[in-house]
C-alpha cells in the first residue's frame, strides 16, 4: 500500500511513527513506496494539514505514556486514522489505544498482508470523511432524535445474540402499529435475513452507496418486511467483501436516519470490538450484553464490560442477558453476577425449540409461542412495550 495508490480525491497520506530505526524501516517497507516516516509522534502531528492520513504507530508508541498523548491529536481529527502495532496485545493496551482514537490494533511482528488490509480499511474510513456525511433530518427537523436504539452485543461467538436480536425485534413488531426496525451490523457474517427467511433485494450496502441522499423515504424503501410480524429489516451485505466499504461514520449516519423512520431500532453486531461497534455502543440508548453460561463466555464478557467502562459507557445503558441460564453446568447465576459485578436483568432458559426454530427460519416467539424461551423473550419485550392484558402480540 502506498500514498500514490490511494484515491487522489481527496489525496491520502500514509505515515509510520516508530523510534526504533529498523522497526520503522520494516513497517515502511511493508506499506510500499511513498510512505512518510517519523521517529516521534510529535513530529508527525506537526505535519498534519487536514489531508486524510493513515498512520501506522510502531511498538514504541504502545507504552502507556505515548498512548495517553495520542488522544489530543487523533480525537479532534477524524481525517487521521491510526493503526497501532504492539509487541504485547494485552487488554490494557487495546483499551487505552481504542479510547485514544486508534482504529485498529495488531500484534507484532505483523504480517504484511494483515497490515496492508488494516490500513486499507482505515484508509476507506478517513477517505470517506474528505466529504461531510449529511445529518439525517427527521420530520421534526432534529437530527439524532426519535426512535430508541437497542444494540445487542456479545464478546463471544455462539452466545446467542442474533437469536436475542431477532426474537426481541419480532416480539416488539407484533405489539405495535409503529415501525420496528432490525439492522444487521454483523457486516461479514450476518444471519438475520436467513433466520427470518428473507430474500432481500437491498442491504445496508445500498444505504452506504447512497449516503449523500439518505433521507427517511429512501431508507424506508431499503427496508425489507418480515410478513408474519411486520418487522422492517436492513440486512447485512450478501458477501463478506462488501463489509470493507462500510465505515463507522456510515453506520452512525444510517442509525441516525432510522431514528426518524422507526419507533424502535434493534441492532445485531459482530462478536468483537471495532470502530463500528464502538460507535454503536456510544450512539445506542441501550446495550443488551448477551452472555452464555460457560467460563470462556463469562471471561470475555467481563473483558467487554471493562472495555465499555474504560470508554465511559454509562452503566445504566448496559443490561446483561444470560442465555441458557438454567443449564446445569455448575455455574450459578448469582456467581456470574458477582464475577461480572452486574445483575442479570434477563435470564433466558435453554430450550430445544430454539435450534428447531432456527432450522425452520422462524423466530421462536412465532414458532413456539407457548415455550418457556418464547415467554422469556416476551418478558424482555415488556421492558419496551408492555403486552396487552392477557394477550401477547397483535397479529
The full set of domains in the chain, from first to last, is 3-128 (3.40.50.2300), 148-381 (3.40.50.300)
Is the pLDDT at 12 greater than 60? The verdict is yes
pLDDT tens, 360-380? 999 999 999 999 999 999 999
Is the pLDDT at 125 greater than 80? The verdict is no
Decide: pTM greater than 0.85.
no
What does the pLDDT read at residue 340? 84
Is the pLDDT at 194 greater than 70? The verdict is yes
Average pLDDT over residues 161-190: 95
Is the pLDDT at 391 greater than 60? The verdict is no
The beta-strand segments (E) located in the chain are 13-17, 36-38, 53-57, 80-86, 104-107, 148-153, 180-184, 224-226, 231-234, 264-268, 286-291, 318-323, 344-348
pLDDT tens, 254-280? 999 999 999 999 999 998 888 899 999
Is the pLDDT at 242 greater than 90? The verdict is no
Average pLDDT over residues 185-204: 92
Cis bond upstream, residue 10 (ω within 30): yes
Is the pLDDT at 127 greater than 60? The verdict is yes
What does the pLDDT read at residue 5? 38
Is the pLDDT at 152 greater than 90? The verdict is yes
What does the pLDDT read at residue 232? 96
Banded model confidence at residue 312, pLDDT cuts 50, 70, 90:
confident
What does the pLDDT read at residue 170? 97
Cα–Cα dist 292/298, whole Å: 7
pLDDT tens, 55-98? 999 999 888 888 888 888 888 888 888 999 988 877 778 878 88
What does the pLDDT read at residue 329? 55
Compare 136 and 183 and report the one with higher pLDDT: 183
On the 0-12 / 13-18 / 19+ scale of CB atoms within 10 A, 130 is middle
pLDDT tens, 108-118? 888 888 888 88
User: 15-49 burial, b for 16+ CB within 10 Å, e for fewer?
Assistant: bbbbeeeebbebbbebbbeebbbbbebeebbeeee
What does the pLDDT read at residue 328? 59
Q: State percent of the chain over pLDDT 70.
A: 89
**Selection from 160, 157, 190 nearest residue 348 by Cα:** 160
Which of 5-9, 224-228, 250-254, 343-347 has the weakest average pLDDT? Answer: 5-9
Average pLDDT over residues 233-248: 90
Amino acid at each position: 500500500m502506498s500514498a500514490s495508490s490511494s484515491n487522489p480525491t481527496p489525496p491520502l497520506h500514509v505515515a509510520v511513527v516508530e523510534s526504533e530505526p529498523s522497526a520503522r524501516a520494516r513497517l515502511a517497507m511493508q506499506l510500499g513506496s511513498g510512505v512518510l516516516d517519523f521517529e516521534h509522534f510529535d513530529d508527525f502531528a506537526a505535519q498534519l494539514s487536514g489531508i486524510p492520513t493513515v498512520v501506522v504507530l510502531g511498538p514504541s508508541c504502545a507504552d502507556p505514556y505515548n498512548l495517553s498523548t495520542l488522544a489530543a491529536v487523533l480525537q479532534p481529527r477524524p481525517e487521521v486514522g491510526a493503526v497501532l502495532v504492539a509487541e504485547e496485545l494485552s487488554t490494557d493496551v487495546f483499551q487505552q489505544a481504542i479510547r485514544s482514537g486508534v482504529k485498529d490494533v495488531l500484534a507484532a511482528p505483523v504480517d504484511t498482508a494483515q497490515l496492508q488490509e488494516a490500513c486499507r480499511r482505515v484508509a476507506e474510513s478517513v477517505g470517506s470523511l474528505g466529504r461531510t456525511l449529511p445529518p439525517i433530518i427527521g420530520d421534526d427537523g432534529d437530527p439524532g432524535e426519535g426512535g430508541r436504539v437497542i444494540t445487542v452485543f456479545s464478546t463471544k461467538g455462539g452466545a446467542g445474540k442474533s437469536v436475542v436480536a431477532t426474537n426481541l425485534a419480532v416480539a416488539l413488531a407484533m405489539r405495535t402499529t409503529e415501525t420496528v426496525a432490525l439492522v444487521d451490523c454483523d457486516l461479514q457474517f450476518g444471519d438475520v435475513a436467513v433466520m427470518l427467511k428473507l430474500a432481500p433485494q437491498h442491504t445496508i450496502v445500498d444505504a452506504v452507496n447512497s449516503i449523500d441522499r439518505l433521507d427517511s423515504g429512501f431508507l424506508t424503501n431499503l427496508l425489507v418486511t418480515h410478513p408474519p410480524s411486520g418487522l422492517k429489516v436492513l440486512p447485512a451485505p450478501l458477501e463478506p467483501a462488501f463489509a470493507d466499504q462500510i465505515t463507522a461514520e456510515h453506520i452512525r449516519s444510517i442509525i441516525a436516519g432510522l431514528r426518524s423512520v422507526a419507533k424502535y431500532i434493534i441492532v445485531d453486531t459482530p462478536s468483537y470490538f471495532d470502530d463500528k461497534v464502538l460507535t454503536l455502543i456510544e450512539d445506542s440508548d441501550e446495550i443488551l450484553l448477551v452472555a452464555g453460561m460457560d467460563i470462556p463466555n463469562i471471561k470475555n464478557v467481563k473483558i467487554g464490560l471493562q472495555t465499555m467502562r474504560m470508554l465511559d459507557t454509562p452503566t445504566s445503558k448496559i443490561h446483561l442477558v444470560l442465555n441458557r441460564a438454567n443449564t446445569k453446568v455448575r455455574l450459578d447465576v448469582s456467581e456470574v453476577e458477582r464475577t461480572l459485578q452486574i445483575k442479570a436483568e434477563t435470564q433466558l432458559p435453554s430450550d430445544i425449540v430454539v435450534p428447531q426454530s432456527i432450522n425452520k427460519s422462524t423466530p421462536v416467539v412465532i414458532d413456539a409461542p407457548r415455550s418457556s424461551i418464547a415467554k422469556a423473550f416476551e418478558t424482555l419485550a415488556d421492558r419496551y412495550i408492555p403486552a396487552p392484558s392477557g394477550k401477547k402480540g397483535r397479529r
